[in-house]
Amino acid sequence: MNISKKVLLAAVTVFSLAACSSGGASGTPEPKASEPAAETLFKAGTYEGEEPGFGGEGNPIHVTVTLSDDAIESIEYKAEGETPTVGGAALPQLVEKVLNNQSTNIDGVSGATVTSTGFFAAVNEALTEAGTDPASLEPQGAEETVENIDKTVDVVIAGAGGAGLTAAITAAQNGKSVVVLEKAAVVGGNSSYATGGMNAAETHYQAEQGIEDSADLFYSDTMKGGHDLNNPDLVRTLAENSSEAIDWLDSIDAPLANVGQAGGASAMRQHRPVNAEGKILSVGTYLVEHLNATATKLGVEIITEAKVDEILMDGGKAVGLHAVGAKGNEITVKANSVVITTGGFGSNPELIVKYRPDLEGYVSTNAPSVTGDAIAFLEAINADFVDLDQIQIHPTVVQTDGALISESLRGDGAILLNSSGKRFCNETLTRDVVSAHVIEQDGGYAWLIADEVMHSGSTVIDKYLTKGYMIKCDTAEDLAKLIGCDAETVKETLSTWAAAVDAQNDAEFERGSFEAMLTNLAEGPYYAVKISPGIHHCMGGVKINTNAEVIDKEGNVIPGLFAAGEVTGGVHGGNRLGGNAVADFVVFGRIAGENASK
């Protein structure tokens, strides 16, 4: 990206001039020849650079780099477009890495690849302006002394995503010492990528807003959505503990006060966070920030860049974890109980193809670190698995980079148009069904359409705009031009939909839940994003019971071993409902942490 840069401080080379001698008895010394100026590495000063990171070109990473003649002295940055729990957490580490190595020719931060690439590119712009070829700067970091780690605690947890942090907090609240081992350099995992909300029934927020719902209805919706492949006992546990989980989030200052509706739900039960202005926030970033802060406050130790590869066993009981650090050092943590919360395998193409060959080549919405490492080390101790072939594709995914467009937008009133400018299905059906409808369209894609009413109340849409995913169209004609279809067709589609919302009767596709909609899309401006399905969630995983205890292949509990979140199977069956992943990691994360404490 070419941007203007201002050199705030220029290097000045000063040459000494010999005094003129008048000779005689004055004792004036003979003139000396001037010495050549010493060669410098940089042109000292302060320089700026700017490049897209995760926030895209609309909200890039901006750096201010201060140089002396021979060193990178400091780097300041502005990066409002980076996800706080991913890129935002990685940026201080990236600054430290560059300053320590005096070079950008180094590895980025694992789990924050896009942010790392953008940051290095911005710094390189500044270095180039200073007259240096960044590629010529060899890393200067001294060899680090790498030490093995050996600890003993009450509870050790593999994975610092939503389930792992929830389990850690619960155990710490019970007075237990806790260590969490996280493969990536930042916490959050897939949980940081969640954009919608958390399903919960019979909550005080629903009651306060006059919303009728029940744990029984939550249960039946989840079973139906999962095609009855779900474990009924696990689903019942999820539904009946969801309201208390909302209360628990309130207690750690992470309220989810806005209630909307997601696909496959018969009631408004998707709980979402809002900011001070009342705008809806992305639930994943919000919860990971609060969970991480709470865990830190309670003294939970989180060791990042620690890839777990073995569950330590003693007499058939789980007694700890072994991991390998980023520098190859060994990390051993012994404990009274072990919790596995490492997520699924959505970013592992080999495992995806192994269990679902038909999904080869699909883009993934998952965090890069979510590669199913736990399957191997759980198999090694005879743990059982269920539904590993049940892999969900999400219908609204940006194909260029796997960015997920939140299902909550459709719940709030967004619609899907095909390349002809027509609706083609009930947009709030389950993800697998909507995905199938999208794939059937000409070209295998569709356009998701929102409007200004939705945009004004959502920071989520703001982010999609700044990242360049969504495009603003002032009129229906502009929208048709973007799609590449007949304008009259788009106008007719929008008019028919507005009338259906006003009459609360969708004669075309029998879409309901009109009470949850924020708009009828009758007027522009409109906001459109081109989408196709992508790999999103692994419903299958290690088998657990309602106590979150891991089950072996003979049907027995493995003593001392618990699991929660996407690493487990049985909760979601053949298809996960939007909003149930967050409910899953909070409910079963709490159960795992509680029972591990015993």
User: Which residues are identified as catalytic?
Assistant: 431
Residue 418 in tokens = 């095909």
Residue type for 404, please? Answer: L
Q: Alpha-carbon distance 136 to 102, whole Å?
A: 11
Q: How far is CA 274 from CA 195, 278, 482, in A?
A: 12, 5, 31
Q: Closest Cα partner for 281 from 249, 313, 252, 258? A: 258
Q: Which long-range contacts (C-beta less than 8 Å, at least 24 apart) are formed by 323-326?
A: 323/158, 323/181, 325/146, 325/149, 326/110, 326/185
By CB atoms closer than 10 A (0-12, 13-18, 19+), residue 61 is buried
Instruction: Check: CB of residue 254 under 8 Å from CB of residue 290.
Output: yes
Q: Closest Cα partner for 542 from 159, 155, 151, 111? A: 159
The per-residue DSSP string of 478-498 comes to: HHHHHHTS-HHHHHHHHHHHH
Q: Alpha-carbon distance 5 to 129, whole Å?
A: 8
Q: Alpha-carbon distance 342 to 163, whole Å?
A: 9
Instruction: Check: CB of residue 427 under 8 Å from CB of residue 407.
Output: no
Q: Is the dihedral of CA 500, 504, 507, 512 positive or negative?
A: positive
Q: Alpha-carbon distance 495 to 445, whole Å?
A: 22
Q: Closest Cα partner for 571 from 596, 529, 533, 542? A: 542
- Whole-angstrom Cα Rg for the chain: 28
The continuous run of DSSP H or E covering 477 comes out as helix 476-483
Tokens 């700067």 sit on residue: 137
Instruction: Check: CB of residue 50 under 8 Å from CB of residue 62.
Output: yes
Q: Alpha-carbon distance 463 to 275, whole Å?
A: 14
Q: Alpha-carbon distance 203 to 197, whole Å?
A: 14
- Show Cβ contacts of residue 90 under 8 Å, excluding neighbours closer than 6 positions: 82, 108, 109, 111, 112, 115, 116, 185, 186
